[in-house]
Amino acid sequence: MRTLITHGTIVTAGGTLDADVLIDGETIAAIADPIREPADRIIDARGMLVLPGGIDVHTHLGLEAGDIATADDFESGTIAAACGGTTTVVDYATQSRRQSLTRALEAWRAKADGRAAVDFSFHLAVTSLAPAAEAELDRVLAEGVTSFKVYMAYPGRLMLDDRSIARLLAWTAASGALVCVHAENGPAIAELVARALAEGRTAPRYHAVTRPVAFEREAVSRVISLAERAGAPVYIVHLSSADGLEEIHSARARGVRAFAETCPQYLVLSDELYEAPGAEAAKYVMSPPLRPPWHQHALWEGLASGDVQVVSTDHCPFLLEDKLRHLDDFSRIPNGAPGIETRMSLIYDAGVRTGRITVTRFVEVTATAPAKIFGLHPRKGEVAVGSDADLVVFDPERTLRLSAATHHMRVDYSAYEGREVTGAPVAVLSRGRVVAEHGQFTGRPGWGRFIARSAAGMHGEARDRRGHHGA
């Protein structure tokens, strides 16, 4: 199958180019202006942008939390991703207590294989580290899972102690792998939660009150110190605050290989939503919580400057009925919000159209930088001859109204209900196959393949435009 995309403007992290793109099978075969070779299908991209397919490196598909599970599994979640312009997801395969690391990875592969509609990979979330875990970590690395996650929050469930984090960082420093960190001070949060409940402050808005910015900043600083001592890179997930960003900026200025991602919710939503009635506020119970509006400005500046390299979603969608079961105890409301389908349009609308970031930086933070940091580049995250034909034909003038009534995610609410955004995909290709057109899924479940990732590039050999280590 040969597909020709004509008359579009190609946008990469490095610049723009008016040219045609020829796809032969699953890869990009030629880029030129014009291409006069025959093709089985021609896509006219006149007036459109041709982007590398989005890469979302922070999702939770098929995640079980006690007696409930996320609304999206690998089939529905990746269908939604495709409709929104994301062609690769890197999900968190989470080790349960007393489970081996290899068994955890096998369990997550079983959830995705034969169901995913776009390509996928995994980080392995480590919740306990056995005395002889290094040999098992080596085996996981050999399988192409080259990044690992630790939680500094959720004591007694997911949290890994500092000694184990230091040990894992020492292993990654030697192996070339990368540790991703949920940076909040879990024990300190637990104390505030217990105190709030004892005083009768049980409504959803107290979720944010008990997870203050100071506890994010402290955890970011602490784990960066551990990584610096180990000589390892570190990647902070879902950064929500200017305070945490300040720690990252300081670390990068002194040469620490500190990476960070933020999420659309922290860029366009604020803690004012917690003042809504309980049932509405419960939608926004996520960790870290939404912050006061001025943090948004700092995070956008961090994206523009290069201190924040990636925008992912932390897509963790629980049904509203599951969130509303515990309106009388905020600590039992399942944490998370949906976003896998809306990321690309939200960031284009709120970032590019407002002038906060350039269109090339938009491509960098949604596709190229995650591909480079997590060992997918140049196969993914690039419009180049030989790269996978993961492409988005993107209409910068197409307007959407975001709503649970029209999205493909199985979750029964939208965190952005009624918000109008301008800029959206009109065609999405995964390895040369059109999997979505005009917001409707045209692919098939099972098309997506597991992508074994390289550790090359994870330790920040590439440098950003200011000379610091970066993606």
| Structural domains of the chain ordered from first start | 2-51+389-441 (2.30.40.10), 53-373 (3.20.20.140)
Distance CA 162, CA 286 (A): 23
Closest CA to 390 of 191, 186, 120, 165: 120
Looking at residue 9, its pLDDT comes to: 98
Exposure on the CB side of residue 63, measured as CA atoms within 13 A: 23
Tell me the torsion sign for CA atoms 135, 140, 145, 150: negative
Tell me the torsion sign for CA atoms 366, 368, 371, 374: negative
Distance CA 366, CA 53 (A): 9
Q: What is the pTM of this model?
A: 0.96
Looking at residue 132, its pLDDT comes to: 86
Three-state secondary structure call for residue 297: helix
How far from 138 is each of 125, 148, 347, CA to CA, in Å?
15, 12, 37
Beta bridge mates, 421: 400
Write the single-letter amino acid at 44. D
Looking at residue 456, its pLDDT comes to: 57
Distance CA 434, CA 293 (A): 39
Distance CA 237, CA 286 (A): 13
Distance CA 176, CA 280 (A): 44
Looking at residue 457, its pLDDT comes to: 57
The single-letter DSSP state of residue 417 is T
Q: Considering the chain, what is the average pLDDT of its residues?
A: 95
List, for the chain, all residue ranges whose pLDDT scores fall below the cut of 70: 456-471
SS3 track for 64-114? EECCEECCCCHHHHHHHHHHCCEEEEEEEEECCCCCCHHHHHHHHHHHHCC
Per-residue pLDDT of 385-423, as tens digits, reads 999 999 999 999 999 999 999 999 999 999 999 999 999
Three-state secondary structure call for residue 272: helix
